[in-house]
Structure 1
Amino acid sequence: MPFNDKIITLITGANGGIGFELASQLLADGKNFVLLGSRSQEKGEAAVQELKKRSLPGTVELVQVDVSDEQSIAKAAGEVEEKYSRIDALVNNAAIAGETPPTHSLPRRLTAAFLTNSTGPAIVVESFAPLLSKSTAKTPRIVNVTSGAGSISLRLDSENPHQQMKVVPYRMSKAALNMLTACQAYEYGPLGWKVFAFCPGFTASGLSDMNKEELGAKPTREGASPIVDILAGKRDGEHGGFLHAGGQHPW
């Protein structure tokens, strides 16, 4: 089959923002096969068509998956297994800010944020781990796209320029994702897999109305490019770490 000699990477939430840009950067290399994960079938198809219009050497296909829905995740894993039998890397990129609509109570916003930002990635990895175990790559990799907002140490640091930012659901769910990363590093590290939490920083994306370049967010390409390096094995020595572009955050 044409994908047997390619590196297959599943990216959740890849119909826009950092996920879409990561897909585009990976597809610049013909050895890469991107499974573009999207909750919306329509938006996912549009994203795939846009990438194909760019005539990039890599291969891209859509995987419809809602990471807040256990049945959707199971269905997606089954379809990927049937079509491709394996994946070589997984990027848990899908996320929500958990602040909208603001009229929702804190419990409702917390539940929504945890379901997408931490519970979802846990189920995605559990569901796709059997396919990662069949990877033909020397080193399967998992990247959980997190945030410095989930660092407990930075939250308590009075010198942190973002300390005044509340976003309690987002902070708590990303802190949980960081713990999930540590658990996955412990579980899968002995198998030779590499697992990372990666914070892209304040990046232009569809995460919230604040994530715009005119409001100071870095270009999406800058937020995505370090993930390409991680997937290429350039930071394998930092397995289990809470990475950002220039080093590591404190937990």
Structure 2
Amino acid sequence: MKKVFITGGNKSIGLETARQLLQKGYYVYLGSRNLEAGQQSVNDLKAEGLENAEAIQIDVTDEVSVQAAQATIASKTEVLDVLINNAGISGGMPQSALRSGAEQFLKVYQTNVLGVARVTQALIEMLKKAPEPRIVNVSSSQGSLTLASDPTNIYYQYKGVVYQSSKAALNMYTICLAYELRDTNVKVNAVDPSFTKTDFNNHRGTGTVQEAGQRVVKYAIIGEDGPTGGYFSEELNPETGVIPW
């Protein structure tokens, strides 16, 4: 049975991604900053008949917590097949290039960028032991420099310098990570789940968590002929999913 770890897996897109992977026969380690919240989500999944789920406490902004989570997972399995770096925060609005302070940037970057690096580095050796390891970094089309500067982009008027720049940084991390792993079986991609109705955006999104989950799962289970080092948004490009950096 393949095993997956999902950060921020106790709610919204993370939880739906867990649900869909469980339905596909994966064993899911559901990462949650609050262990009680994570356990409640696991209980809810089990009530649906999805038994192969387990809550793991992790705060991606805390190195000690990340290492503890790695040790917990390692005590249960030697091999990790999939890592989904889903945990993220928006940083609140408004976000102004002239008025947003350093503390606002640092808080968001701690989760959206540094958190991804911490978790990936902690788990990479377990991933390398899998026959077809996959890493999905949950990004956003808002992190695209090309789209953010294109007045014809449907989200052009939505500007949030803190969040957008954090996702642009995450995209570069994805590119560099895929390059470093180019001679291994690890495939790494950045995926935009779409503008989804969740508490992340006060339910202002247009897509459902089911659609978002499907988009993340697609790249978590890609085959040997699948892409690596790519950036995908099926919302903005339904044909190939590929969007510009």
The alignment's TM-score, normalised by the length of structure 1, stands at 0.90
CA shift, 1:109, in A, is 1.1
Letter in 2 for 1:99: G
CA distance in 2, matches of 1:36, 1:65: 9
Q: Does 1:244 align with 2:244?
A: no
Residue 51 of structure 1: aligned partner: 45
Letter in 1 for 2:27: F
CA shift, 1:235, in A, is 8.5
Task: Count matched residues.
Answer: 237
CA distance in 2, matches of 1:150, 1:174: 5
Contact in 1 for aligned 2:198/2:205 (Cα 8 Å): no
CA shift, 1:189, in A, is 2.1
Contact in 2 for aligned 1:80/1:86 (Cα 8 Å): no
Letter in 1 for 2:195: F
Closer, same or farther in 2 for the Cα pair 1:97/1:197, shift >3 Å?
same
For each residue in 1:165-189, what CA deviation from the matched residue of structure 2 results, as whole angstroms up to 9, or x when unmatched? 1211100100000000001101112
Contact in 2 for aligned 1:67/1:121 (Cα 8 Å): yes
Contact in 1 for aligned 2:2/2:81 (Cα 8 Å): yes
CA shift, 1:85, in A, is 1.9
CA shift, 1:232, in A, is 1.9
Contact in 2 for aligned 1:99/1:169 (Cα 8 Å): no
CA shift, 1:236, in A, is 4.7
Q: Match for 1:14 among 1, 9, 12?
A: 9
Mapping for residues 211-230 of structure 1, pairs under 5 Å? 212=203, 215-230=204-219
Q: Match for 1:35 among 29, 35, 47?
A: 29
% identity of equivalent residues? 39
Structure 1 gaps of 5+ residues are 1-5
CA distance in 2, matches of 1:206, 1:39: 16
CA shift, 1:106, in A, is 2.2
Equivalent residue of 1:27, what SS?
Answer: helix
After superposition, the CA RMSD in angstroms is 1.7
CA distance in 2, matches of 1:242, 1:101: 27
Closer, same or farther in 2 for the Cα pair 1:199/1:216, shift >3 Å?
closer
Closer, same or farther in 2 for the Cα pair 1:221/1:192, shift >3 Å?
same
Structure 2 gaps of 5+ residues are none
Q: Does 1:148 align with 2:141?
A: yes
For each residue in 1:175-206, what CA deviation from the matched residue of structure 2 results, as whole angstroms up to 9, or x when unmatched? 00000000110111211210000001101223
Q: Does 1:167 align with 2:160?
A: yes
Residue 102 of structure 2: aligned partner: 107
Contact in 1 for aligned 2:128/2:185 (Cα 8 Å): no
Equivalent residue of 1:191, what SS?
Answer: coil
CA distance in 2, matches of 1:216, 1:69: 30
CA shift, 1:29, in A, is 2.4
Residue 82 of structure 1: aligned partner: 75
Residue 3 of structure 1: aligned partner: none
CA distance in 2, matches of 1:250, 1:232: 23
Letter in 1 for 2:208: P
For each residue in 1:112-169, what CA deviation from the matched residue of structure 2 results, as whole angstroms up to 9, or x when unmatched? 111100110011100000111222xx21000000001100001110111211212111
